[in-house]
Amino acid sequence: MNHEYTEPSQDRQQWLSLMAKTPLEDLKDQWTHCLKTTQLIPENIEQYAQAIRPIQTGLVQVRGRMGGNGNRFNVGDMTVTRAAINCEGFQGFGYIAGRSKTHANLIALLDALLQNPQYQVVLQSSLLTPLADLRHKVLQTNVEKTAETRVEFFTVVRGED
Amino acid sequence: MYVAVKGGEKAIDAAHRLLAETRRGDLSVPSLSVSQIKEQLPFAVDRVMTEGNIYDRELAALAIKQSAGDMVEAIFLLRAYRTTLPRFQSSDPVNTSEMSISRRISAIYKDLPGGQQLGSTFDYTHRLLDFALMAEEQSGESDVMNSDPTAVVSHFDNVQQDTSVTSLDEEHEVCPKVMALLENEGLMRRELDDNSTVTDISRDPVSYPCDRSARLQSLVRADEGFLLSLGYSTQRGYGRNHPFSGEIRTGNVSVSIVPEELGFAIDIGEIELTECEMVTGFDVQDDAAKDNNKPSDAQFTRGYGLVFGAAERKAMAIALVDRALQCNDYGESPDSPAQQEEFVLSHCDNVEAAGFLSHLKLPHYVDFQSELELLRNLRNKSRSESQSKSRNEGTEKQP
């Protein structure tokens, strides 16, 4: 059984991005929690997954734009790790910034499971939603901390006129 | 001519053992961990990432530890490591207008949409040594200023949460760009994307004259000190371009790529960037002037700097030098060092510069022998000439 993806999935785009931006520890914790509480996905599910290609660390050339929106230019590289697995006929891919093979591999596994209609609903509610909440909280904290440094400058008139 | 030298293996090994000792320092002081460097020397990490030209905080911290704090050496280590990794692809251009801001200031408008946020900055500090930091270290206390870390967390537990995954797109307030305010009034030259090809100086060596994409890429990896001095020289009148800091912002941006096997864009993570937009002296657009002798409108020009991490000084220096190097576009004669493309770009890389400087420490015995011989011959020649001359003079005086 092999399921080809026919059109770019907005959901898939979202979950791959969310999981890549979630720190590995948080992702692992939530995944373990999800396995224990839902009892739907076998705990040894990883054993059913085969690597499509070896996990690999390499570089992605980061591009910027002159003045923020003009012509493109190369800023520099960043380390990126990618994994590709097949699990029960679904192909999963994991791409993350950095060099954590565990992180990339876990995302690839979860990407495959998330495409599986059998698990999708459960994973959406017990994995993705909590992760999105967590990320929202972290971002909020940063916003609030920075907002405390918001400054109002006053110009003071000097001289007689 | 190069002549090989042999030997010295034992001495070199011993020297490297000594280096390891120097790096470790006094054994009674606990060893510094890579994660401590990563967390507690973030600005050193930022500089090494920017000039080493790889965004990876952990690798940069490791390089700093290995080089015992010699920054140019650490940058060299990271550049060398870079050559061992395959490059998968290029990212989509990062969108700095969607940055989640941790610092944002402008020196040209005091009231801005989105406001000015100082973030964490050395600005407005008194630059007095803080002996309290030393005292804390001695007493083994943590130097975290917030005594009640839970206070912040509990406060945010009450923040209303958006639970849908789709909310990620609007995950933070977008701060509009200051330059857009001037652009919209027609007072600022717009940056346009004409789809021109992007030069990659890490693949193809720069040939002069080069385009702005090659210049900006070179300036990102350029030595901060060198750029700081060049930028300073433009402020002091060597290639004056009358700069104002239009906007400086630091924060995280998402990096997205389109993997071949997926065919659609995904975010692979976030990186911290600092961007500086300089408003520089105005110029009359030539194209407008040519049109029916209409009076042409003068517009501000601009310089741009973008770096990894919170390397603000570097971003500002890049923006100044970027503008100075645009002199030909505005009919300014390139009289000053900062305006001379080949001079700036071929001397700005500290890995190249340190490499060529270092080679002076290698044996030049044969080279130097030939110089010595030449000098001795010259001196002997001139001595014998002057002797024979004085002898001749002596014989003339005799009668």
Rounded average pLDDT over A22-50: 92
Alpha helices in chain B (DSSP H): 9-24, 34-40, 42-52, 57-66, 71-82, 131-139, 149-157, 178-184, 212-221, 224-235, 286-290, 312-324, 341-347, 350-358, 365-397
pLDDT in tens, B118-128: 999 999 999 99
| Residue keyed to tokens 């399921």 | A3
What is the secondary structure of B303-350 as a DSSP string? EEEEEETT-HHHHHHHHHHHHHTTGGGGT----SGGG-HHHHHHH--H
Instruction: Using the predicted structure, report yes or no on whether residue A131 has a pLDDT greater than 80.
Output: yes
Provide the pLDDT for residue B388: 86
Model confidence at B386, pLDDT cuts 50, 70, 90, reads: confident
Give B175 to chain A, closest Cα distance, Å.
12
Rounded average pLDDT over B308-325: 97
Write the CB contacts of B333 (distance below 8 Å, at least 6 apart in sequence).
B327
Lowest-confidence range among A105-114, B124-133, B165-174?
Answer: B165-174
Asked if the structure places residue A42 within a domain, the reply is yes
Provide the pLDDT for residue B296: 67
Asked if the structure places residue A139 within a domain, the reply is no
Instruction: Using the predicted structure, report yes or no on whether residue A15 has a pLDDT greater than 60.
Output: yes
Mutate which: B48, B88, B116, B122, vs A, most A CBs within 10 A = B88
Asked if the structure places residue A120 within a domain, the reply is yes
Provide the pLDDT for residue B137: 73
State chain B's mean pLDDT as an integer: 88
Closest CB to A61: pick one of B87, B192, B213: B87
Asked if the structure places residue A152 within a domain, the reply is no
Contacts of B217 in chain A (CB under 8 A): 73-76
- The b-or-e profile of B369-395 (16+ CB within 10 A means b, else e) is eeeeeeeeeeeeeeeeeeeeeeeeeee
- The b-or-e profile of B193-230 (16+ CB within 10 A means b, else e) is eeeeebbebbeeebeeebebbbbbbbbbbbbbebbbeb
Alpha helices in B185-250 (DSSP H): 212-221, 224-235
Rounded average pLDDT over A137-144: 92
The answer to whether residue A23 neighbours chain B at the CB level (below 8 Å) is: no
The residues pairing with B279 across neighbouring beta strands, listed in sequence order, are B244, B302
Q: Report how many domains make up chain A.
A: 1
Provide the pLDDT for residue B152: 38
B100 and A143 within 8 Å at the Cβ level: the answer is yes
Q: Taking the CB of residue B16, how many other CB atoms lie within 10 A of it?
A: 10
Contacts of A142 in chain B (CB under 8 A): 100, 102
Instruction: Using the predicted structure, report yes or no on whether residue A103 has a pLDDT greater than 50.
Output: yes
A59 and B110 within 8 Å at the Cβ level: the answer is no
pLDDT in tens, A63-93: 999 999 999 999 999 999 999 999 999 999 9
Angstrom distance (rounded) from CA B247 to CA B256: 24
Give A47 to chain B, closest Cα distance, Å.
23
Query: Shortest CA distance to B325 belongs to which of B245, B219, B187?
Result: B219
Q: Is the pTM of this model over 0.90?
A: no
pLDDT in tens, B47-95: 999 999 999 999 999 999 999 999 999 999 999 999 999 999 999 999 9
DSSP 8-state code for residue B255? E
pLDDT in tens, B256-294: 999 999 999 999 999 999 999 999 998 876 554 455 555
The answer to whether residue B90 neighbours chain A at the CB level (below 8 Å) is: yes
**Amino acid at position B228, single letter:** L
Provide the pLDDT for residue B299: 92
Lowest-confidence range among A35-44, B70-79, B367-376?
Answer: A35-44
In the sheet that holds B116-117, the strands lie side by side as A150-151, B116-117, B100-105, B244-257, B266-284, B298-308
Asked if the structure places residue A147 within a domain, the reply is no
Contacts of B202 in chain A (CB under 8 A): 74, 77
Angstrom distance (rounded) from CA B171 to CA B162: 9
* pLDDT > 90 in chain B, percent: 74
pLDDT in tens, A118-129: 999 999 999 999
Query: Shortest CA distance to B279 belongs to which of B361, B150, B189, B146?
Result: B189
In contact, A17 and B267? CB cutoff 8 Å: yes
What ipTM score was computed for the predicted complex, to two decimals?
A: 0.91
In contact, B173 and B285? CB cutoff 8 Å: no
The CB-based long-range contact list for B329-332 (8 Å cut-off, 24+ gap) reads B330/B283, B330/B301, B331/B286, B332/B239
C-alpha distances out from residue B32 to B78, B130, B388, Å: 19, 21, 71
Angstrom distance (rounded) from CA B391 to CA B188: 79
B168 and A151 within 8 Å at the Cβ level: the answer is no
Model confidence at B1, pLDDT cuts 50, 70, 90, reads: low
Angstrom distance (rounded) from CA B100 to CA B227: 27
Sign of the alpha-carbon torsion through B201, B229, B62, B37: negative
Contacts of B158 in chain A (CB under 8 A): none
A59 and B50 within 8 Å at the Cβ level: the answer is no
Instruction: Using the predicted structure, report yes or no on whether residue B223 has a pLDDT greater than 90.
Output: yes
Provide the pLDDT for residue B7: 82
Asked if the structure places residue A142 within a domain, the reply is no
Asked if the structure places residue A110 within a domain, the reply is yes
Lowest-confidence range among A99-103, A116-120, B111-115, B354-358?
Answer: B111-115
Provide the pLDDT for residue B144: 53
Asked if the structure places residue A50 within a domain, the reply is yes
Lowest-confidence range among A2-11, B78-87, B223-232?
Answer: A2-11
Contacts of B87 in chain A (CB under 8 A): 58-61, 77
**Amino acid at position B85, single letter:** L
Q: Taking the CB of residue B320, how many other CB atoms lie within 10 A of it?
A: 26
Write the CB contacts of B222 (distance below 8 Å, at least 6 apart in sequence).
B51, B318, B348, B349, B350
In contact, B301 and B281? CB cutoff 8 Å: yes
In contact, B249 and B103? CB cutoff 8 Å: yes
**Amino acid at position A114, single letter:** L
| Residue keyed to tokens 């080679």 | B359
Query: Which range marks the domain in which residue A62 is found?
Result: 10-133
Give A59 to chain B, closest Cα distance, Å.
4
Q: Find which of B22-26, B135-139, B148-152, B383-387 is predicted with most confidence, using mean pLDDT.
A: B22-26
Instruction: Write the burial class of residue B311 (CB in 10 Å: 0-12 exposed, 13-18 middle, 19+ buried).
Output: buried
Q: Taking the CB of residue A43, how many other CB atoms lie within 10 A of it?
A: 10
Rounded average pLDDT over B333-352: 96
Sign of the alpha-carbon torsion through B7, B10, B16, B18: negative
The answer to whether residue A45 neighbours chain B at the CB level (below 8 Å) is: no
- Kind and range of the H or E run holding A3: none
Antiparallel, parallel or unpaired: β B298-308 and B266-284: antiparallel
